[in-house]
A and B are shown apart, each in its own frame.
Chain A
Amino acid sequence: MTRHEILDELKKVIAPYTTNKEMLAGIDDQTDLIRDLKINSANLVDIIIDAEAKYDIEIDYDVADKMMIVGSCIDVISEKVNEK
């Protein structure tokens, strides 16, 4: 999967947890899930679990802290998908 394809799918994963749909449509590598998309931190684990299901990967705890910035999310997912 290309980074662009992962980004498109990631938008669908994030969508249920943000009301800021306008900003979601324009997210890029620098977008912060909490500060920019106003996602409650309590939903960060939901996003990780949903991403695991979407890409059939396992994101372990030592990389989970990178899942706050969109670019880092894509890095983690890309790496895990390529490991399969």
Chain B
Amino acid sequence: MISTGNDIVSLNAINITRTNDPRFYSKILSTPESKLYNKQVAAVIPFENFVWLLWSIKESAYKYLQRITPDLLFTPVKFEVTQLHLPDAYRFISFNKDQLSSVGFEGLSAFEAIITFGADTLYSRSIIYNELICTVVHTNKDFSNTHWGIKFIEDEEYTNQSSAVREFLIENLQKISGFDKVAFSKDQHNIPVIITGNSKTFPVSLSHHEHFIAYSFQYSSI
């Protein structure tokens, strides 16, 4: 089963001056993508957030496609965001909570994008707060069974981030699925998977950056 790909960027951790340097953003954006930063987009988000939004979309797409092609290498400019749609009535607000989890993006101010890599076309939804950008990529436009979560953690040490995101995922998955036993593991290609009580596995996507952790997975109880 192919799941989702996700990514989270802590905007407090980015270097704004460096991000606005063409030597930097040209490693992430292609020339056509730079043109997506038009007047409408510029009125909503600063350029540095635009660069990291596209990074987040590309990284999520890479994580998705790496499940199909485990040896895939990540070259940001080879993942092309061809369309970017702004949410209606978007406004900058603070995350201002310990955690947020949901299924789908209905009713949320999500940035929608289409991304291509070679012959593959993928779809993304991104949520932007003052402090973070969180993206989930899926193979089609239907995110109604896409579960995702974001959490603030005090400890930004890498190993602890990694443990915290697994715990966060398992806690929410158990609430959603009703599975008594779920365990985290990695498959032979180092892709994170969840093993349920009946020994079934399904892939999940995990991400962490500085004080934020995030997960996404595809699940339907029907």
Contact = CB atoms under 8 A, between A and B. Distances in A.
Given A35-B190, A42-B209, A49 B18 contact: yes
A65 B77 CA distance: 10
Interface string B168-208: 00000000000000000000001000000000000000000
Given A45-B27, A49-B23, A52-B23, A40 B77 contact: no
Contacts, number: 49
Contacts of A35: 190
30 contacts: A19-B158, A20-B158, A35-B190, A38-B159, A40-B158, A40-B209, A41-B59, A41-B74, A42-B14, A42-B59, A42-B209, A44-B74, A45-B24, A45-B28, A49-B21, A49-B23, A49-B24, A49-B27, A52-B23, A61-B26, A61-B75, A61-B76, A61-B78, A64-B27, A64-B75, A64-B76, A64-B77, A65-B74, A66-B73, A68-B73
Given A45-B28, A61-B75, 18 more contacts: A38-B158, A38-B159, A42-B13, A42-B14, A42-B52, A42-B55, A42-B59, A42-B209, A44-B74, A45-B24, A46-B18, A49-B23, A49-B27, A52-B23, A61-B26, A61-B76, A64-B77, A65-B74
